Amino acid sequence: MRARAVYCSGCQMWEVMESDSPPDVHICTRCIEMELLRDRIRNLEQQLDDLRLVRESEEVIDRSYREVVTDKWVTLRMDKGQRQGRVSTPVSVHLENKYSCLSTVGVDSLPGSSDSGRASGTETGPVAQKGREKKRRAIVIGDSILRGSDRRFCGRSQETRMVVCLPSARVSDVSQRVQDILKSEGEEPEVVVHIGTNDIGKKREEVLKGEFRELGGELRKRAKKVTISGLLPVPRDSESRNGARWRINAWLKDWCSGQGFKFLDHWDLFCGRCDLYRKDGLPLNPRGTNILVGRFANASGETLN
C-alpha cells in the first residue's frame, strides 16, 4: 500500500491517503468534519429557537401578572384632626391558570417545571401531566460494528440514550428481539437500526428485503421515529459482496421513503476510506466510530456531549 494524492469531490482539493485502489468519488476528512459541524450548528439553531419561545412565554406571564395582581389605592380625606392615609379597597380578582400557555413549551426546559402543577392550582393540568411523563429515549440497535460506541453516543445522558449491540446479529435476529428491547423504554422511543452486514453473501437479496420489511413492521408498532442506517462498504472484501451491499442500500432508500422512515446513507463517506477502519477489516477504528455515531445522533435529534 502506498500514499496517493486523491481528489476530493467536495472541496475540489487534493488529499494524500494510503490506498492501492483510490475510490472514484472521494470525500476528504475536512469535508466530513465540516458536514458534522453543519449538523451541529443546525441543532444549536433549533435549541436557540426553543429558548426564544420560552422567553416569549415568560413575557406573556409577566404581562398577565401585572394586569391582574395590581393593588388600587384610594386616598381619602380624613376627618379634621386626623392625618391623611391610604386605605385599600377590595378588588375582585378573577383567578385562573395563567400558566396554561406553557403547555406548548417543553416542560423540561423550564426551571421549576416539576412544581408547575401545584403552582397553577391543579394537579391534573397539561403541564403537570407532561412533567410526569417518562423521558423519551434515543436508541441505537445494531450488530458488532456498534461495539464501543455507547460511551460516545450516551455520554452523560444515560437516562435518555441507549446503544444495543448484538454481535453477529442478522436482520431476522433484530426483528425477533426488538419488542423485548423496547418494551421498557418509555413512550414512543426514537430508534436507529444498523443491521444487515452479516446477511450479505448468506442469503438471496430478495429474502433479505423481506426480512427488512418484517423488521419495519415490528418497529412501527413501538417506535415514534425510525431511522434505518445503510450498510457500510467493507475494505478488502470482494467486489460482488460490496456490490450487493450497494444494491441493498439503494433498495432501502426507496423502501424507507415509502414507509415514512428515515434512511442514512454512509456509502460516500466510508467508501475507500481505509483510514476509518481497523487494520483487520470491517470494525471501525475510533475515528470511524465517531463519524458514524455523530450521524446517528443527528438522525435521532440528539446532540453529542
Domain ranges of the chain: 1-56, 99-133, 134-299
Give the CATH class of 134-299.
alpha beta
Q: Give Cβ neighbours of residue 22 (< 8 Å, ≥ 6 apart).
A: 4, 6, 272
Residues in Cβ contact with 148 at an 8 Å cutoff, skipping those fewer than 6 apart: 286, 289
Question: How many angstroms separate the first and last alpha carbons of the chain?
Answer: 37
pLDDT of residue 223: 86
Q: What is the rounded CA–CA span in Å between residue 302 and residue 154? A: 10
pLDDT for 78:
45
Task: Look up residue 241 and give its three cell numbers.
Answer: 459482496
pLDDT at site 42: 79
Closest CA to 98 of 127, 132, 131: 127
Q: Tell me if 8 sits within 8 A of 25, measured CB to CB.
A: no
Give Dmax over CA atoms of the chain in angstroms.
109
CA pair distance 68, 53, nearest whole angstrom: 23
Say if residue 186 is exposed, middle or buried (CB neighbours under 10 Å; 0-12, 13-18, 19+): middle
Q: How many C-beta atoms surround the C-beta of residue 201 within 10 A? A: 12
The rounded distance, in Å, linking the Cα atoms of 72 and 62 is 18
Please report where in the chains the cell 440497535 appears, as a residue.
141
- pLDDT of the residue at 302: 56
Query: Cell for 203?
Result: 442469503
Question: What pLDDT score was predicted for residue 299?
Answer: 81
Per-residue confidence (pLDDT) for residue 120, from 0 to 100: 37
Averages of pLDDT over runs of 10 residues in the chain (305 residues) are 71 72 70 81 80 72 58 44 48 51 44 39 41 64 88 78 90 92 81 92 92 94 90 88 93 94 92 86 84 86 55
pLDDT at site 11: 79
Spatial separation of the C-alpha atoms in residues 208 and 57, rounded to whole Å: 50
Closest CA to 279 of 238, 216, 235, 244: 235
Give the pLDDT score at 229.
94
CB 90 within 8 A of CB 74: no
